[in-house]
Amino acid sequence: MKSSTRCLTRMLPFFLLPAILGLPVRAEDGHRLWLRYDALDDAARDPYRRSVSAVVVQGQSPAARILRDELKQGLSGLLGEPVPVSNKASSPGAVLAGTPDNSPLIASLGWEKELRRLGPEGYLIRRTEIQGRPANVIASAGESGALYGAFHFLRLIQTGQSIERLDVAERPRIARRLLNHWDNLDGSIERGYAGTSLWNWAELPGRVDGRLLDYARANASIGINGAVLNNVNARPESLSAEYLKKTAALADAFRPYGVRVYLSANVAAPKLLGDLPTADPLDPDVARWWRDKANEIYALVPDFGGFLVKANCEGQPGPQDYGRTHAEGANVLADALSPHGGVVMWRAFVYYKDDVDDDRVKRAYGEFVPLDGLFRPNVFVQAKNGPLDFQPREPFHPLFGAMPRTPLIAELQITQEYLGQSTHLVYLATMWKEFLDADTFAGGPGSEVAKIVDGALDGRETTGIAGVANTGSDRNWCGHPMAQANWYAYGRLAWDHRLTAEEIAGEWIRMTWSRDPEVVATMRKMMLDSREAFVDYTMPLGLHHLIGGDHYAPMPENDTAPRADWTAAYYHRANVQGLGFDRTRGGSGAVDQYHRPLSDLWNDPAACPEELLLWFHQRPWDARLRSGRTLWEELCHRYGKGAERVSRFEQEWRSLAGKIDEERFLAVERKIRQQASDARDWREKCVTYFQSFSRRPCPKD
C-alpha cells in the first residue's frame, strides 16, 4: 500500500489527492487557486444535475487520464455528489471528452473538418445527441485542446452559466503563451516575492514534487502552454548535461498538461561551459557547439521549446562583445534549433554596462529596428510592454509597429516588481488591456498592439506572449492571495486578449472566493480600481522610477547609484521651474519613435494625455491642466486621491467579514492594512520632496 501511495503522489496533482485517497480537505489557505470545485448551493446545482450524468473519456494516454480525472473531480465537487466514469455514453447527459483519434464516439460525430480548423489546442463544446441521447461533448483535434475545453466547461459551471444550449468553438489567439521564471539554480528567484523556486533542482531528476503537477494543471486551466525554467540572467550550468537531465524530468511531468519547457541561455556558454576560446557567434566552432548542444537537448526533451536570451544588457555577455549584431547572435542559436522546430526569443531589453544614454528608453528601438528582416524565421524579438522597465504606467513599447518583418513577443510582468510586490493589491489586467488595446497606427488607425502580437496585422502565424511569473513556494503560490488574479488574468488574456479586465475579474472571484453577489461586486470594484490607485499614490501623471534599489519604497530623492539611469532624478528631472522628462522633438526625441498621428499628439503638451504628461514633457509648476488645477495642485491631488482610495479598500474588505473563510480574509486584511500605510508614506514622501522644488503650499484639500 505504501508503494502505491508513493506512486500516486508522483503521478497525481496534490489538488486531487484528498478526494481520491479519502483524506480531509486542507484549510482554505489559497493553495487550490481557482480550481476549488466546492459544491454549488442546492438551487444553483439542480440544473446541472439534470444535464450531467457521467464522464466519458475513452482514451488511455496520460493526457486522457488527466482529462478524465479533472472532469470527475470537478463535476463531483461542484454537484455535491459522485459523478460516475463510464466508457459509453449510455445515459442522457453524459460529458464526452477527447479527440477523434482516441474516441470512436467523437469520431462518429463527423466534426473532423471543424476540429482541424481550430487546431490541436482549439476545441468544440456542444450539447448534442449521441446514439439518440442528449450529451455534452468536448472535442478537439489534440489532447491539449480537449483538456482546455474541459476546463472551459467546468468554468461555466463554476461561474453559474447555463450549459443547456452549448455551442462553443474556441482557439487561442496567440500560439506561444509562456511564463518566464526568473528562478536561479540555487532556488532563489530574482524579483520573486512568494518564497523560493518551485523547482527543487537538488531533488531532480530522481524526484518530481507533486506540487509541480499542481502548477502544470493550473497553467493548463488557463491555457498557458510553455514555461521558461530559469532566470534570464542565466548561469551557463543550466545547459550542462547534469541540469539537462533535470530539465527533462520537468518536461516529462508537464507534457501531459500541454506545457512545454524552454531554457534561458547564456550566450557565452560555448566559452564558459564548452572550453572554447571564444563565444563569437560567427566562429564555426561556436556554431558547431550550439548545434551539438541542441542535439543533446532534443535527445532528452523531444518537444523542447527553445531558448530565451538576455544579451549585452546589465553585464550579460552578448554578440556585441565581438562586434556582432543582435541578429548575428540570435541566428547562430536559431540555426541550431531549427531542425528540431525550436525557437529563439531574443530580448530587446538592452543597455550598455558602461554607457549611459541621454534617454534610456530610446535604446532598444535604435538597436533593433535597423535589424528588422535580418533575423531567422524562428527568432522572436521579445519586447517589454513599455520601453523602460515594467513601470506602473508607460506608453507601449515603440518596437510594436516598427518591425513588420520580425515576429515580436510581448513581455509582461506578472510579478509586481515595481507595483507593490506581494504586499499591494494591484490587479494588472487593466494595465495589460491598456497596452494591448493601444493603437500603434503602424498600418493606419486600428493597428492595435494586440493585432501585432497575435499576427493579425501582418498575417503572421508565428506569435507569442510571455509573462514574468509571480509563483513561488508559498502555500498560496503568489505571496498575496489577491496576486493569484494576475496569474489567472495573464493566462486568460494570452488565450483571448478580447476579454475585458472586468469579465476576467468576475470569473476569478467566483471561482476562487465566492459566488455571493456582494462579495463579487465588492472585490471586483476593488480590483478594477487598484492599478489606477497605485499609479496615483506612487507615480502619477507619467512620473516613473521614483524608487531605489529595492524597487518598492518611495525614493524620489535617489540621485546616487552605480549608473545615473538607475536613479530617480535621471527620470523626474525636477527643478524650480518644473517637473518631467522632455522626450519631445525639442528634447530627447523619443516621441518620434512612434507613428504619426500619435507622435504629433504626444509631442503637444496641450493634447498629450495627462496620464503620460510627465513621461513626454517637462512642465512648469504653474501650468494649467484640464482640471483647472496647476501641475503642482494636480500632483498633490493625485497623491491624496490614491492614498484615500486605498484607505477605502480597508473598509470595503472589512465589509466582507463572515462572507469569506477566515484564514484568507485575515491574510488579505493584513496586506491591505500595510498597503494603506505604504500609500500614505508614498504621498508624504513624494509631495514633501517635490515641494522642495515647487516652493508652493499644498492645496487645502
Dmax (CA) for the chain in angstroms is: 82
537/554 Cα distance (integer angstroms) = 10
- Size of the chain, expressed as the number of residues it contains: 701
For 393-460, the DSSP string reads S-PPPTTTTT-TTS-EEEEEE-S-TTTTTTTS---THHHHHHHHT-B--BTBTT-BHHHHHTSTTTT-
Q: 595 CB contacts (<8 Å, ≥6 apart)?
A: 401, 440, 441, 442
Neighbours of 357 (CB within 10 A): 15
Q: 3 CB contacts (<8 Å, ≥6 apart)?
A: none
Give the 3-state secondary structure of residue 520: helix
204/217 Cα distance (integer angstroms) = 19
Per-residue CA distances from 158 to 17, 155, 172, 509, 514 (Å): 20, 5, 21, 10, 10
- Nearest in space to 139 (alpha carbons), one of 166, 178, 104, 111: 111
Q: CB-based burial of residue 286 (10 Å sphere; 0-12 exposed, 13-18 middle, 19+ buried)?
A: buried
Half-sphere exposure of 548 (CA within 13 A, CB side): 9
The angle formed by the CA atoms of residues 250, 254 and 260, to the nearest 5 degrees, is 90
For 50-94, the DSSP string reads HH--EEE----SHHHHHHHHHHHHHHHHHHTS---EESS--STTE
Supply 670's cell numbers: 493584513
Catalytic residue, from 417, 565, 592, 678: name it.
417
List phi, psi (to 5°) of 671.
-65, -45
13/70 Cα distance (integer angstroms) = 10
Instruction: Note if 417 is an active site residue.
Output: yes
Give CA 397 to chain center in angstroms: 17
- Nearest in space to 381 (alpha carbons), one of 401, 360, 399: 399
Task: Answer yes or no: are the C-beta atoms of 614 and 579 closer than 8 Å.
Answer: yes
User: In one letter, which amino acid is 527?
Assistant: M
391/544 Cα distance (integer angstroms) = 6
Task: Answer yes or no: are the C-beta atoms of 263 and 228 closer than 8 Å.
Answer: yes
Q: CB-based burial of residue 252 (10 Å sphere; 0-12 exposed, 13-18 middle, 19+ buried)?
A: middle
Instruction: Note if 314 is an active site residue.
Output: yes
138/124 Cα distance (integer angstroms) = 6
Give CA 670 to chain center in angstroms: 25
Q: 145 CB contacts (<8 Å, ≥6 apart)?
A: 99, 118, 119, 120, 121, 122, 123
Catalytic residue, from 389, 458, 532, 634: name it.
389
The angle formed by the CA atoms of residues 448, 525 and 682, to the nearest 5 degrees, is 85
- Report which secondary-structure segment, H or E, holds 113: helix 112-118
- Please give the order of strands across the beta sheet that includes 94-98: 85-86, 54-56, 94-98, 133-139, 123-130, 167-170
Catalytic residue, from 164, 186, 314, 604: name it.
314
Q: Which residues pair with 262 in a beta bridge?
A: 228
The angle formed by the CA atoms of residues 45, 51 and 53, to the nearest 5 degrees, is 100
- Catalytic residue ranges: 314, 389, 417
